[in-house]
Amino acid sequence: MCKLIQFLGILILFGTNSNVHAHHSFAAEFSYENFGERQGEVVEIHFVNPHARIFFAVTGDDGNEQIWSAQTFAPQTLLRRSWNKDTIKVGDKVKISGNLGLENSHKIWIVEIELDDGSIIQPNAGAAN
């Protein structure tokens, strides 16, 4: 019986350990206070777990192009909110508003996306209005 309890304890420990290290906190990457927007052209999309990501080219104040990483919820969450892998496409012109990354990183947590045609997409609300 003691061996069974030890085995189950180890099994539970390993089972929960992978979940603990599988995710990070919002505050580890993004600022709660530093909110902004960037606009550019979508160059790549990753509609995969753990977070959907949109990579877009932004022209900086110095005229140089920077690639920004915008991320949002997991694809299954977005699918429940009427998104799909074709909601945003490579080549789309977007203005993305949200929480900026820490330490001047080129990251943004998506709160709202404005498409070139003026339609708005909010990950919390659903696809284009």
Domain 27-121 class in CATH: mainly beta
pLDDT attached to residue 17: 45
In the chain, where are the structural domains located?
27-121
> Among 87, 108, 107, 85, which residue's Cα sits nearest to residue 98?
108
- Each residue's pLDDT, cut to its tens digit, for the chain (129 residues) gives 666 566 555 656 555 544 444 456 776 778 888 899 999 999 999 999 889 999 999 998 899 999 999 999 989 989 988 888 888 999 999 999 999 998 888 999 999 999 999 999 888 765 554
